[in-house]
Structures are given as C-alpha cells and as structure tokens.
Chains A and B, each alone.
With several copies, the nearest count.
Chain A
Amino acid sequence: MSSETTKASQSVTGPRLAVNIAGIEMKNPVMPASGTFGYGEEYAPFLDLENIGAIVTKGLSLKPKAGNPTPRIAETISGMLNAIGLQNVGVDAFIKYKLPFLREVTTPVIVNFFGNTLEEYGEVAKRLSDIPEVAGVELNISCPNVKKGGIVFGTDPKAAAEVVSLVRKNLAKPLIAKLTPNVTDITVIARAVEESGADAICCINTLTGMSIDIKTRRPRLANRTGGLSGPAIRPIAVRMVHQVAQTVKVPVIGVGGIVRPSDAIEFLIAGATAVQVGTANFVDPGIMPAIVEGIEQYCIEEGIDDINELVGSLQV
C-alpha cells in the first residue's frame, strides 16, 4: 500500500521523459553531440552529468589523430564552421585516461568513433566490445575512405553498409550509425545502414561549407572547407530526420542546430526518439539540463504523460 502511494505520487511529479535507444535506457532524450562535449569531464563543472540522457564522446580513432592545422573554426551567420579534423587521443588512451572519470557517472556513455579504412572501423569496434562502461557506440561514417580514393563512406550506400556490417560483427553493443547530410537522398543511406544491422540512426552530421576572409582573400579555415553546424542548419536537419524516421523502423536521434527546448521538441515531433545538442554547448555550457526542463514543461502544458507519445506525432 505504501509502495503504491509512492508510485502514484511519483507519477504525478511529472511526465515520463525516459526513452530507449536500441536498448540504451536514457532518463530523458537529451544528450550531447559528439565533438562538442569533449570526453564529458570538461562540462562537469557546469551541469550534473546525471541529468542528461546519455554522454556522447568526441570521435575516436584507432591511433591518436592530430587533426587539421589552424585556424580550425569560423563563426558564420547563425552557425559555425569547424575543421578540427577529428583530433583525438585514440581509442586506447581513451579507455585508459578518459573512461575512469565516466565510470563514476551512471548516465550511459556512447562512444563515437570513425576510421579511415574499413579495417580501422572494425578494429576500434573490437577494442570497445568488452568495455562494460561503454553502453553503446555511435559510428561516424562521414569520413573519407583513404583506401577508396577518399570517397566518403557515408555518401555511398554500399560503403556505408559495409562499415556497419563489419562493426556489427565485431561488437555486441547497441550500434548507432551517424549519417552525413551531404547526400542526394539520405533515405537510401538510412535504409542501407538499417539493413546492415544499425540499431539506431543519428542524423545529421555537419554540412560542408566554406567562408572566405575578403581582406586576405584566404579561406577562413586552414583546411579550406569545414562542417557547418548551429541554428542555421536546423531546417535541413529537421527535414532529414523526418525523412529518415518515415523510412526506417529503428529509432532516430535528431541533431542539428538545437539551441532551445522548442528546437528539441521540433525534432521529436518530426520523428526523433532522442536529440543531441552540439554547438549550443559552446554558447551555454549548462544548456542541456535547461532543454530537458523546457521539454518537461511543454509536456505538462500539452498534457503529454510520456515523451514517447510526442515522438513522430507530426500532423500531416
């Protein structure tokens, strides 16, 4: 009886925000986007890591990677370009030096990784496969395949399927495939990765862009081009998330330009089961818990008891 009361009183405390992505249980649908939250530790002074749905790490590769020369970032109108070049400590150093901090947090840890060859993808997957702290992995397939003349894995359905299949074979954990938006038809890629065993799809990564300093007549980025992120790209991201959610059965994670609770809600309505916040972490390091609160508030106002009711509820 007393436990019943507790249950009831819990249920009146607010709407249920928990979501499940491919078996990863999250308290709420808000997590950081890879590469914008370091390895989690960097943001710990500004938010309680227990209050977000998951932690997604900076993208890892087999060996440490130096990244691109500087300048690596440029502000654009309502967005930013980055050409970090996937600088990272490498998977082994991550496990040794970065994971111990994350072990102290109960929030699930999703490790984002990439490779420049098929084999590299496979090898990183193996090394992560028996690390218990890794709740799931997110496969960044927006990288050029150095062996195949630099064609980007994620722009070719066959290459994308190959990568996903291989990782699937090497790793028994929940597998999220993160798609690049720089394609003619994202649903073709989404279908390919679903069929090859992806348990969830995250979209979108950045759009390739360029900015030029008219005084020096040089590209603002040493790498010439970079990835565009931030509010500017949101309409494109919402469109792609909607298209992908209509196409696949696996859950979709929406990302691209979220800076306010209403932006996150837009993605959920479009069909995303969860969302990632990227560039906005730079603007306000405490933004994710605020977005969670805003979503909760919206659910209360709209009479939504369970966030999953909202997912894909677009009226057309």
Chain B
Amino acid sequence: MKNYKTMVLSNQEISPGYYRMRILAPGFGASARPGQFVMFRVQTSLPPLLRRPFGIFRTGFLPPDCEGQPPKEYLELLYKVVGRGTNIMAGLHHGDRVEVLGPLGRGFDPGNPAEEKILVGGGIGLVPLYMLASHLTKTSSVRLLMGGRTREDILAVTEFERLGVETYVSTDDGSLGEEGLVTEVLKRKLEKFPGASVYACGPMPMIEAVQRICAERKVPLQVSLEALMACGLGACLGCVVKGAGHSEEIPRYLCTCKEGPVFRAEQLDWARMGEETGYCEGCKS
C-alpha cells in the first residue's frame, strides 16, 4: 500500500466509451491481490478534488526501452467514461503524471480448489474478475458469465478465454451471445454445477439478483461492491454499506474500502441493500 507518483504508459479506447490504461508501477504486482482496487488521482492539479476508485484489472511487465534495463512493471485499469473524472482520464497520454494509491481493500477469498468457480460479471464489473480468474485457473475449473446491455459492453472476453476460462456471453439486446440477462445463464449453470462457488461484480440490480439466486440454492457467493469513496483507507467513513444484522437500533456499517470491496454474501444486509445506493440511481432505472 503506497502512493505511487507515477505516469501513464498508454491509454487506449477498446470499445466505445471504454478505455484501458497502463500505468508505470514498479513493485505493485507483488503486493496486489485479486479484487483489490486503487484510488486514482486523475491529474496532479485540481479539479477534480477527490480521487476515483478503480479495480485492478491486471499487472504485468513491459519490455524495457533499452537492452540491459529491467522490464517496466505496470498496473492496468479498465474503465468506462461516465463523468467528469473519467472524461479527463480518457484524455491522458503516455507520460502524463498521475498518482495511484494502492493496492487497497480486501480482495476475493480463492476458496476451495476442488470446487467449480463461476464468475459473474456485468459490464465494467468484469474488471476484478480477470485477476481472480488468472489465480483460480491454476487450480480450479473456472466459468465466466458476462452480461451487458449491448455488444459494446462486453469486454476482454478473449483474454479470459486465453486463461482457459469457459466464457458465456449474454446481452440485453442480443447483439452478442445470448439475448437476456446474465442471471438466467447463472441459474442454468448452477443446475449443472450445484456445488460451485460464485464470484460476482457488476451493477447493483445484477448483484442483488445473483444474491437471491445463490441464497435460494445455498451456493457460496462473494460480491465486489462499489460505493462513493473519499479516502479509500477507512478514515472518512463515506463508503459504508449495511452489514448483516443491521437495524436502526444496532447499526452495523462496514467500510467498502477497507472491509470490502469484496464481501462474502453473509456479511451483508441484503434486505436494505437497494435502499441506499445513490451514486448510481441512474443505472437502476
């Protein structure tokens, strides 16, 4: 966990509105675990004031510029342009100064190697699943169920396949893969693999549906949540989510940045989850 004052290596649009950014980050990979995130400072001047949280898509090494030098370690983000900060990010180029605070939070628990693993990703929610998959495929059989509104929201599928992950795509409009919701695919897969563990990341309505499906079938589930964050360190208490057993009288708040962003489903208060999302009201309608 460190504040990397570093620079952009590359930043490319990979699908309309989606970008992939590589950032120089020596030593980052050794400390990062699947499901963790970073707080990204869009530019060294203000605005925007606050950093933006992004999942770690992957880490890796680039060949050095000159022979004899060590390879350059990078951190890769995959992001969707939605507002002010991500709009500025989309305009960054090689060499631009940025700051990355991380790796932060608690990642996924890899679980029992013997079990089947089903990863469920919605849109940009696939980000933390890639690093997870690259770990899990070493020992387990891994399936990825990817959902999106349209084909343009389906990203990096080939990269998952290259890891040996069996991939199922569904889109709301049928423009890629099956037409329909990813949760329908999940139901079918769970019929076939009732002993599987599920790992999910995506929009809240999807996460809630996945939770219901897993709870009904008593399938172990880990979810990665989003929340508005100021510090990313457990200091501001801006990012809390209601924990299991939460009530007005005995409130149980958990920090998404520190106790999450990955939670076991049992840790959370699902009944009250939908009430307070706020930051993505837009995407719920």
Q: Which residues of A contact B (CB under 8 A)?
A: 35-38, 42-43, 45-46, 58, 66-67, 69-75, 77-80, 82, 84, 87, 213, 215-216, 218, 220-222, 230-231, 259, 279, 281-286
Contact = CB atoms under 8 A, between A and B. Distances in A.
Contact of B233 (A71, A82, A222, A285): A285
A253 B233 CA distance: 26
B279 A71 contact: yes
A75 B47 CA distance: 10
Interface residues of B, number: 36
Contact of A283 (B50, B276, B278, B282): B50
28 contacts: A36-B235, A38-B233, A38-B234, A43-B233, A43-B235, A45-B1, A46-B2, A67-B253, A69-B276, A70-B276, A70-B277, A71-B228, A71-B276, A71-B279, A73-B238, A80-B230, A82-B230, A87-B237, A216-B281, A231-B49, A282-B235, A283-B41, A283-B49, A284-B3, A284-B41, A284-B99, A285-B101, A285-B231
B228 A70 contact: yes
B240 interface: yes
B49 A230 contact: yes
A45 B236 CA distance: 16
B17 to A, nearest CB: 18
Contacts of B82: none
Contacts of A66: 251, 253
B238 A79 contact: no
Interface of B: 1-3, 41, 46-51, 99, 101, 227-241, 251, 253, 275-279, 281-282
A67 B255 CA distance: 13
B2 to A, nearest CB: 7
Contacts of B227: 70
A77 B237 CA distance: 21
Tell me whether chain B's interface is mostly helix, strand or loop, or mixed.
loop
CB-based closest 4 A-B pairs = A66-B251, A71-B278, A38-B235, A73-B238
A270 to B, nearest CB: 17
B228 A222 contact: no
A58 B235 CA distance: 8
B44 to A, nearest CB: 9
A15 B22 CA distance: 43
A45 B2 contact: yes
Contacts of B99: 284
Contacts of B236: 35-36, 38, 73, 82, 84, 282
Contacts of B233: 38, 42-43, 285
B47 A77 contact: yes
Given A70-B241, A220-B278, A285-B101, A42 B235 contact: yes
A213 B279 CA distance: 9
Contacts of A221: 278
Contacts of A36: 231, 235-236
